[in-house]
């Protein structure tokens, strides 16, 4: 592309940023949509987030993504924050305003769009959420936002699961979530659930692990969604399919969080064809050859 005085810049704040796949997403979209825009990673040293935000505004950046370890640290330096990002306590996208930046969380809307694309809309559904850490907390808030019917939070620490359930119920002022220990899956209603795996169990290199191994648990799952994408086919997913359910990984969440941010920055709507091209560019940058999972 031609870079000139009209070129707009977006970027990524993080530390490290050397292995980010975001440039593959955003620069592919800019090229396909014919926009004069480039996306660049910026490594921000510890303690320099205020200067990074103020510098980005002074240099007329159109917007930024924020990644580890700054998704919470960036919040005090924003002019506004979107309600969902405020509930989650995590910002990964900055959108330029007249006098600063507004913070959004596109990770969870990205997960929602990815799940909808895979036929796993959470609205009105009974959901099992595995985990009660930071990622699970964000997912739980998304489930409240998108009006899940009931959320059963299962975690190794029952206390953490119950605390998260109480926090979610208070945030949405309804009896939405129930927290308990992992072993309490045996007490779940005799139904088929959507299950979201939000722990790091099964992530590379410990690819032969799952939070729960009992096949009886997986017979309760109609759709299993693992937020892990390395490996692309986790043990959790294999156990879901072995019990007759459908299973999906979290790679499209990575794609859609970027697409939503891009739409915020540009005001342009990304088409299905363009999102597919960005997905292929991202996988190519990651060295991934995806094999579609087949239902057992």
* DSSP, residue by residue, 178-236: EEEEGGGGGGS-SS-EEEEE-SSTT-TT-TT--S---HHHHTTEEEEEES--SSSS-HH
Helix or strand or coil: residue 247? strand
Cβ proximity of 21 and 255 under 8 Å = no
Residues 196, 166: Cα–Cα separation, whole Å: 19
Say which of 2, 71, 79, 149 is annotated catalytic. Answer: 71
Closest CA to 127 of 108, 87, 154: 154
Determine contact, residues 146/112, Cβ cutoff 8 Å: yes
Return phi, psi of residue 62, to 5°.
-70, -35
162 counts as catalytic: no
Q: Are 268 and 11 in contact (CB under 8 A)?
A: no
What's the rounded Cα separation, in Å, for the pair 206 and 200? 9
Six-digit token string for 72: 């919470």
Give the residue numbers annotated as catalytic, written as ranges: 71
């Amino acid at each position: 592309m031609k870079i000139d005085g009209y070129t707009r810049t977006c970027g990524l704040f993080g530390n490290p940023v050397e292995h980010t796949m975001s440039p593959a997403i955003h620069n592919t979209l800019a090229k396909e949509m014919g926009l004069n825009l480039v996306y660049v990673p910026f490594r921000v040293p510890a303690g320099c987030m205020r200067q990074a935000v103020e510098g980005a505004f002074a240099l007329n950046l159109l917007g930024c993504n924020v990644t580890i370890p700054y998704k919470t640290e960036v919040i005090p330096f924003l002019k506004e924050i979107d309600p969902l990002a405020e509930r989650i306590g995590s910002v990964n996208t900055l959108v330029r305003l007249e006098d600063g930046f507004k913070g959004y969380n596109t990770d969870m809307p990205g997960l929602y769009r990815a799940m909808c694309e895979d036929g796993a809309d959470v609205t009105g559904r009974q959901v099992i959420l595995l985990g009660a850490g930071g990622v699970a907390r964000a997912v739980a808030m998304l489930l409240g936002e998108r009006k899940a019917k009931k959320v059963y939070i299962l975690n190794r620490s029952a206390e953490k699961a119950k605390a998260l359930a109480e926090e979610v119920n208070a945030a949405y002022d309804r009896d939405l979530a129930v927290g308990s220990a992992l072993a309490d899956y045996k007490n779940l209603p005799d139904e088929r659930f959507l299950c979201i795996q939000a722990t790091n169990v099964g992530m590379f290199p410990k690819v032969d692990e799952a939070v729960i191994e009992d096949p009886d648990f997986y017979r309760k799952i109609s759709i299993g969604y693992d937020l892990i994408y390395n490996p692309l086919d986790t043990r959790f997913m294999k156990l879901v399919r072995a019990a007759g359910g459908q299973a999906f990984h979290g790679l499209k969440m990575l794609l859609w969080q970027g697409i939503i941010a891009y739409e915020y920055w540009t005001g342009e709507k990304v088409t299905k064809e363009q999102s597919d091209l960005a997905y292929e560019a991202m996988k190519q940058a990651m060295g991934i050859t995806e094999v579609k999972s087949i239902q057992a």
